[in-house]
Structure 1
Amino acid sequence: MLQETLAYEVLSVVEEIPAGKVATYGQIARLIGRPRNARLVGRILRGAEQYGSYPCHRVVNHAGRLAPGWPEQAALLAAEGVFLNQRGCVDLARDQWDC
Structure 2
Amino acid sequence: MTQFTEEILVIIKGIPYGRVMSYGQIARLAGNTRGARQVVRILHSMSEKYNLPWHRIINSKGKISISDKRYAAIQRDLLISEGVEVSEDGYIDISIYGA
| TM-score of the aligned structures, taking structure 2 as reference length | 0.86
| Residue 25 (1) aligns with residue 23 (2) | yes
Aligned to 2:7: 9
Q: How many residues align?
A: 95
Aligned to 2:87: 85
Go from structure 1 to structure 2 and tell me whether the alpha carbon gap of 1:8 and 1:50 turns closer, same or farther (over 3 Å shift). Answer: farther
How big is the shift at 1:48?
1.7
What value does the CA root-mean-square deviation take over the aligned residues? 1.5
Q: Which runs of 5+ in 1 are unaligned?
A: none
Aligned to 2:44: 46
Select which of 41, 54, 57 maps to 1:56: 54
How big is the shift at 1:50?
5.2
Indicate conservation of the 8 Å contact 1:85/1:91, yes or no. Answer: no
Q: Please list every run of at least 4 consecutive aligned residues from structure 1 whose deviation after the TM superposition is greater than 6 angstroms.
A: none
How big is the shift at 1:80?
0.2
2:24 counterpart letter in structure 1: G
Go from structure 1 to structure 2 and tell me whether the alpha carbon gap of 1:50 and 1:7 turns closer, same or farther (over 3 Å shift). Answer: farther
